[in-house]
Amino acid sequence: MIPIALVTGFLGSGKTALLQHLARTLRDRRIIYLVNEFSAVDVDGHVLAEETQDVVELPGGSVFCRCLVTDFIQTLTDIPERFGADGSVDGVVIEASGVANPRVVAKMLRETRLDELYALSTIVTVIDPGTFPLLLKALPNIRAQVDAGDVAVINKTDLYDAQTVEQAEALVREIRPEIACVRTVRGEVDLPVFGPAPERALDGEYAPCADPNFARMVIHPRGEVSIEALRRTLEDARDIVYRLKGFVRADGRWMHVDYSAAAFTARPLEREADRADLVLIGRGDAGTQLQALADALRGDA
């Protein structure tokens, strides 16, 4: 049986940083990383490929929604032959999209008989302590991600004061008292993600393809981008933008930019991107404002 570690958490909580850390610390094992992007453009897979080549990208929604689950099932079916026909695959880490409800995973494995090939080992939920309390009130899948988790990684603790971190951890324990909580920065925490599977009772339904809580857009900026101007624009739009990430040209080089409510970062890419792509995800009831923002970032306004 091939063990599966499922990594969940809202947009911008730090799931990809955790996967990068796992890829660095598990280099001596054949681990396959399946990266699920909510948008149609894969950003996280490109970033993770700087650490490992054993990356499978599955963009375009949540692997637990009806529109993508068939592709997800086929991908899991193909992994043993594609990466380890000799039985050399030691495990699979799945980074679910930030809007995913993971409670359906056990049902999916059972109904497709993939439970004869895979064993669900650990469900890790990554938490941004600054945004978690508000998201918990607004988005039902945030509670489901915690309720399904075995381990809660309270991430980005360097960006918040102790009271904020403690409040987030207390809310996590209210939802799931038995969950293990660990605090970290940039996902740098050692977790036995392929340890023995705990007893759990997971049950859920596949989500519909369209979630009215979210609007998502892909933007192709024209020409070079001013990083500082981009930072200011996103700060001004923080009430309607959950996440922006992608690749742009700035000062003659390719940059990976990443914005969430916690922080904005921009760093040079080690591997050049094919083209400038930005993924914008925002509030579902702010479509007109988000379209205006997208036009400005593209260079139309």
pLDDT for the residue 87: 67
pLDDT-derived band at 225, boundaries 50, 70, 90: very high
Please give the residue that has the higher pLDDT: either 82 or 286.
Answer: 286
pLDDT at 243 over 80: yes
CATH value of 214-298 in 3.30.1220.10, 3.30.70.1560, 3.90.1150.10, 3.30.230.10: 3.30.1220.10
In contact, 14 and 126? CB cutoff 8 Å: yes
Mean pLDDT value across the chain? 89
pLDDT at 132 over 60: yes
Beta bridge partners of 254: 249
Single-letter residue type at 49: A
pLDDT for the residue 242: 92
DSSP 210-278: --TTEEEEEE---S---HHHHHHHHHHTTTTEEEEEEEEEETTEEEEEEE-SS-EEEEE-SS--SS-EE
- Can you read off the two tokens belonging to residue 173? 């324990």
In contact, 223 and 197? CB cutoff 8 Å: no
Closest CA to 95 of 209, 192, 9: 9
H helix or E strand, kind and range, residue 39: none
Give the highest mean pLDDT range of 100-104, 224-228, 272-276: 224-228
pTM over 0.85: yes
Q: Give just the sign of the alpha carbon dihedral 101, 102, 106, 108.
A: positive
- Pairwise CA distance, residues 201 & 16, whole Å: 27
Fold of the 2-183 domain: Rossmann fold (3.40.50)
pLDDT for the residue 139: 84
Beta bridge partners of 207: 65
Q: Which residue, chain included where needed, has tokens 């599966």?
A: 4
- Pairwise CA distance, residues 290 & 282, whole Å: 7
pLDDT for the residue 122: 94
Burial category of 233 from C-beta neighbours within 10 Å (exposed 0-12, middle 13-18, buried 19 and up): middle
Cα 63 vs. chain centroid, distance in angstroms?
12
b/e 45-72 (16+ beta carbons within 10 angstroms → b): bbbbbebbebbbbbbbbbbbbeebbeeb
pLDDT for the residue 91: 95
SS3 294: helix
pLDDT-derived band at 4, boundaries 50, 70, 90: very high
pLDDT for the residue 100: 76
pLDDT for the residue 212: 83
Q: Give percent of the chain with pLDDT exceeding 90.
A: 61
pLDDT tens digit sequence for 28-53: 999 999 998 877 777 888 889 889 98
pLDDT for the residue 107: 84
Looking at 112-161, list the stretches that DSSP marks H as alpha helix, in order from N- to C-terminal side. Answer: 132-138, 140-147
Closest CA to 248 of 238, 262, 237, 259: 259
pLDDT for the residue 22: 96
pLDDT tens digit sequence for 180-212: 999 999 999 999 999 887 777 777 777 766 678
| Residue 134 neighbours by CB under 8 Å, 6+ apart | none
For strands 241-250 and 264-268, give the pairing: unpaired
Least confident of 65-74, 141-150, 216-225, 286-295: 65-74
pLDDT for the residue 86: 65
- Pairwise CA distance, residues 185 & 134, whole Å: 21
Q: Where are the domains of the chain?
A: 2-183, 214-298
